[in-house]
Chains A and B, each alone.
Chain A
Amino acid sequence: MYELALFAISIVAGFWGAILGIGGGMIAVPFLTLVLGIDIRYAIAASLISIVATSSGAAASFLRDHLTNLRVAVLLEIGTVAGAISGFLISSYVQGRVLYFVFAAFLLFSTYTMLRRREEILATTDHPWSARLGLGGVYPAEDGTEHAYKVEAVPQGILYMYFAGILSAMLGIGSGALKVLAMDGAMKLPIKVSSATSNFMIGVTAAASAGAYLVKGDIRAEIAAPVAVGIIVGSWFGARAMVKMKARSIRVLFVILLVVVAIQMLVKGFQA
């Protein structure tokens, strides 16, 4: 029964993870620790698998639908991979309780940043690196037409990705929220492109750490298998739903999710 419950919640996590570009870890980690009572180190390791699953499950659809910006993703992944390795190296020296508070602070910061922006503000000019590397693109809007977009603040985006990578390795999350915020806020990409590109990137970020944790033995098949299978199923449906959703709806859902999980993590941190 507990395994089926984990499978069911993973489907939900995969569905919303694909839509919001945040990976299943943000939902999976609280469920694994708060409901199932699993040690957070196993939960973090399992959630890295869930992030790879979310990313892989939705990436094919987003690539086909022309939402994922592969060039931006590869460039920003320089920062995330470097950060993920750094995070893995320091994670063994940080206590579990500290991880809960770091996670909660990160989520609340993300909420604040998101609430400050009420409307979608798109880039009007390309950063010189973006112009040189052809990072801009086109994406399908809700009305079915294709809209062109540009890319700003590329160096800042890479720096944000470094910190996102550290958080990914330390907290077992894909840091998709920070990636979406960096692309949406700093680089001024459309929210759907940010979400889809983030979805693509979180899998790579997580794989760098997941491979290490798998070899180390922290990823246990009993936990990770039902999570990953559920996530794959959910993300497949989520990727299809996201294309048809309005950008504003995605933003509202994103903010609500951040607040709920932040509160849960704070509670767990005080209880630890």
Chain B
Amino acid sequence: MKTESYEVELAIAKVLRVGVLVAGGLMAVGWLAQIDFVGNVFTRFATYQSRPLGDTLEALLAAKDWARLTAYLGLAALVSLPILRVFFTFIMFVRGRERVLAAAALFVLMGLAVGILLGFSH
């Protein structure tokens, strides 16, 4: 059972590696395409202003700001990696008939979903 678990862990590790490269690549392309070598882009973030992601993406689409849109796509891909990681772990425990740990993984997945939904409601 443990040897099979280790094989699945290796498979999860490979998926993670590819996922990180894809997410990192998208963010790197999006960031470097609009990098400012002279000015300080961070001055506009000195004061907090609430603005939902939907509004930001609408504005970027309207302005055809593909660089920032690519960076946001990379961010979404990055955030999804831990979720994928837990999902594959859940599958591993289900296949191994380890009910307690499978239930734990399922609880974590539901918690992740709730966490993201909270963002929609705030």
**Which residues of A are interface residues toward B (Cβ below 8 A)?**
1-4, 6, 36-39, 41-42, 49, 52-53, 55-57, 59-61, 63-64, 66, 68, 70-71, 74-75, 77-78, 81-82, 84-85, 88-89, 92, 132-134, 200, 203-204, 206-226, 228-229, 232-233
Are B118 and A212 touching (Cβ within 8 A)? yes
* Residues of chain A within 8 A of B38, CB atoms compared: 1
**Residue B75 is within 8 A (CB to CB) of chain A in the complex:** yes
Judged by DSSP, the binding face of A is helix
Q: Mark B30-72, 1 if CB is under 8 A from A, else 0.
A: 1100011110111101111011110110000000000010011
* Residues of chain B within 8 A of A228, CB atoms compared: 23-24, 27, 74-75, 78
A226 to B5, CA, bound (A): 35
Give B52 Cβ to nearest chain A Cβ, in Å: 5
A225 to B28, CA, bound (A): 7
Are A133 and B98 touching (Cβ within 8 A)? yes
Give A98 Cβ to nearest chain B Cβ, in Å: 15
A219 to B52, CA, bound (A): 10
A37 to B100, CA, bound (A): 46
Q: Which of the residues A41, A56, A213, A214 comes within 8 Å of B76, measured between beta carbons?
A: A214
* Residues of chain A within 8 A of B30, CB atoms compared: 221, 225
Subset of 21 A-B contacts with CB under 8 Å: A6-B42, A53-B24, A55-B82, A56-B20, A60-B17, A63-B13, A74-B89, A74-B105, A78-B104, A84-B111, A133-B98, A133-B100, A203-B85, A204-B108, A212-B115, A214-B53, A214-B79, A215-B52, A222-B42, A228-B75, A229-B28
Q: Which of A36, A37, A42, A215 has the most CB of B within 10 A?
A: A215
Tally of B interface residues using CB under 8 Å: 69
* Residues of chain B within 8 A of A88, CB atoms compared: 115, 118
**Residue B112 is within 8 A (CB to CB) of chain A in the complex:** yes
* Residues of chain A within 8 A of B74, CB atoms compared: 225, 228
A53 to B20, CA, bound (A): 8
Are B16 and A56 touching (Cβ within 8 A)? yes
Are A78 and B107 touching (Cβ within 8 A)? yes
**Residue B10 is within 8 A (CB to CB) of chain A in the complex:** yes
A220 to B100, CA, bound (A): 38
Are B31 and A216 touching (Cβ within 8 A)? no
* Residues of chain B within 8 A of A38, CB atoms compared: 42, 45-46
A231, closest chain B residue (CB): B24
Give A178 Cβ to nearest chain B Cβ, in Å: 18
Q: Given A60-B17, A81-B108, A82-B111, A70–B118 Cβ distance below 8 Å?
A: no
Give B66 Cβ to nearest chain A Cβ, in Å: 12
Q: Which of the residues B19, B107, B108 comes within 8 Å of A56, measured between beta carbons?
A: B19
**Residue B83 is within 8 A (CB to CB) of chain A in the complex:** yes
